[in-house]
Amino acid sequence: METVVVDHPLVVDALATIRDVDTPNALFRQNLERIGMLLIAEATRSLPTIDDTVTTPLTTTAAERLAAQPVIVPILRAGLGFLRPAQDLLPNADIGFVGIARNEETAEPEPYVNKLPNEIGNRPVIVVDPMLATGGSLVHTLHLLVERGAEQPITIVVALAAPEGIAAVEASGIDARLFTAVIDERLNEHAFIVPGLGDAGDRQFGTG
């Protein structure tokens, strides 16, 4: 798996804010979206384009357009934090949703939603989720996408990644490209990323 750490100054600035335990939920969401916008822009740098023409107020000139609109797949619920920047950048993309909860006793993924577009083949697929911890949720999602005919490599965008999660994706055998703001040290005994930022879902939406 290709792994790209995007160390843009705006990314690392926003990363400092979302790591801070004193950052309120609204500011956390805002800075998570800042990171998402920059990471997704980098992750889509190699999207294929086709030649076209466009008529300006003065003349007709050569242009390029996306060859195919991507499919964006946020992993619920934390992945919703990257959905708005993804739609801002790719307003014509289709959106699929995969909902996976983590069993807090076993740290294993428990799926509860699978709403993927029927037509995935021949289109770039971008999976978004702020944190790659154990990799269980992400690997489950990647398998669902491959079963639907998604072309590889599949692009993955996360704010933070743990080495254990990266290893899990690599062990899945699925060809993927990972874009992240940082690779953290490790997982703790509760399978949380260290130093991390806590629970990304709770810090966006509350614990209710």
Q: Which residues are catalytic?
A: 102, 106, 199, 202
Separation between Cα atoms, residue 61 and residue 78, nearest integer Å: 42
Q: Kindly report the backbone phi and psi dihedral angles of residue 104, in degrees, each rounded to the nearest multiple of 5, phi listed first.
A: -70, -15
Please give the angle made by the CA atoms of 197, 199 and 202, to the nearest 5 degrees: 125
Helix axes 25-43 and 9-19, enclosed angle (nearest 10): 150
Distance CA 110, CA 125 (A): 22
The helices-and-strands tally (H runs, E runs) of the chain is 6, 13
DSSP summary character for residue 206: -
